[in-house]
Chains A and B, each alone.
Chain A
């Protein structure tokens, strides 16, 4: 019990730091993240440039703020798409059962049979690259897992006495679903959301790293890592900063989830 609390506290601190970092980045960055300055190319971290500068003389700290903002935004929207559609599909599937359930679950089984990165790549090759397309692709990608979680919860709760009671009292199916069943799925859904958020951050960074997500000059943590790799001999710090930001975020959320 004690280690769980410690995990939760450390996780919250890490997530808190990241949130502050991103929120400040929305209103203020020390430099313009896209402004190039030939006089300060590939500078090591210093007091004027906390994380150093890249090959175009852009301030890495500012770019990290901008990139983290993009990554967070993509993650929030994709998880929301997954949660909304997943909840609706899972609730209908679990509540009504029958042939509809069978069809949904077969499709989901097949989708989950693909490794998720492969599925993401398929969607991106169909939709094309870019921020909007990566959101749609990853959003679709997250629907099956949420649908499954909600469905199994709905099936379990459906058989509880209080739901049967509500039915006897003449509540409509919609009312039972939204007022009586779905709120009870919330704790499990919350944990699925934290895991989903982590997966979304890793997926966005991964796709952008492969050059299939957010496109330059827009900053994204994954994109920065792939650019940094070219300069690994001359500017090793370039890769470290965006990488550590991803690690801290993912670690924070998974620690919170465990606590």
Chain B
């Protein structure tokens, strides 16, 4: 309990620092978002009045305070490009990214766990070698190239989907899933490779321990030892790794949404950077960073709940 409170303290400090950095970084940017949105030929009065209206003339800490109290209430300010509240713009795009992330996580878990177990069980056999080579290869393919290859195979050659023709989740949910399954696979494939390798080495480490020998000497078959004794222990480090994977999936969606022209949060971030629409950039950066930090915190807590040894050690 004491440890959880300490972790909670660290979490709050980290969130504060992240919010401060995110705010601070966009204050030192050369170039003026007001001029950018009004155009370079705007009169000085128009620029000044807009600056006043947006509160850009207040001292730095006041602006940070205002921004942060807005953020806590879910108000990220107004987009300088679209002249709409940032929160509304994000709300439209968030479901795409969430579905994409959830779908890729499901694919990752469904494939990596059986493959990881398989490669550990068949150690020294051909099938293990094949899995190792495949994982090594897929980890070297950058996500955007993988996306292009999948588009080429499933979109151009097999015609299972029309490249670039996104179907909104509100129009036809089944077709929407049919489209985002390909970007989801793109995100998933390298992560599956990482998971398989991690799970395999975690299993192999456990298989060398004394309790496994004891389990065998009590007359257990390999299947029993693996599923009732080893797996439970081997999964513990995998849970931490899963936290990293979730963060990676979110980050991966930034690029993959671009490859498949998905109107999600990641693509919006990239477009907004090109537009120099900083309230939007700030908001999305905060959003992703907070989600990643909170997930890692939850996993840290979960870790201690399932493994009493860690609690005692602390």
A contacts, CB < 8 Å to B: 106, 109-110, 113-118, 121-122, 124-126, 128, 202, 205-206, 209-212, 222, 225-226, 228-229, 232-233, 236, 239, 243, 246-247, 250-251, 254-255
Contacts and interface: CB of A to CB of B under 8 A. Distances in A.
Given A122-B285, A232-B156, A251-B137, A117 B254 contact: yes
A119 to B, nearest CB: 9
Given A206-B255, A236-B156, A212 B289 contact: no
A116 B288 CA distance: 12
B293 interface: yes
Most buried by A among B136, B140, B255, B269: B140
Given A117-B255, A209-B258, A232-B156, A250 B140 contact: yes
A121 B151 CA distance: 25
A64 to B, nearest CB: 13
Contact of B21 (A110, A206, A251): A110
Given A117-B252, A246-B142, 14 more contacts: A115-B250, A117-B254, A121-B273, A126-B25, A128-B30, A210-B254, A211-B270, A236-B152, A236-B156, A239-B145, A239-B148, A247-B141, A250-B141, A251-B137
B90 to A, nearest CB: 15
19 contacts: A109-B14, A113-B18, A113-B292, A114-B285, A114-B289, A115-B289, A117-B251, A121-B254, A122-B285, A209-B144, A209-B258, A210-B254, A210-B258, A225-B144, A225-B145, A232-B151, A233-B156, A247-B137, A250-B140
B287 to A, nearest CB: 10
Contacts of A124: 273
A250 B248 CA distance: 18
Contacts, number: 118
Q: B interface, by DSSP: helix, strand, loop or mixed?
A: helix
A110 B29 CA distance: 21
Interface residues of B, number: 48
B259 interface: yes
B210 to A, nearest CB: 25
Interface string B6-30: 0000000010011001100110111
Nearest to B28: A126
B76 interface: no
A249 to B, nearest CB: 8
B163 interface: yes
Most buried by B among A110, A206, A233: A110
A228 B148 contact: yes
Contacts of A118: 251, 254, 285, 288-289
B148 A113 contact: no
B18 A232 contact: no
A126 B21 CA distance: 12
A222 B144 contact: yes
Contacts of B276: 125
Contacts of A225: 144-145, 148
B142 to A, nearest CB: 5
Given A125-B273, A229-B148, A232-B156, A115 B288 contact: yes
Contact of A239 (B152, B155, B270, B273): B152
Contacts of B136: 251, 254-255
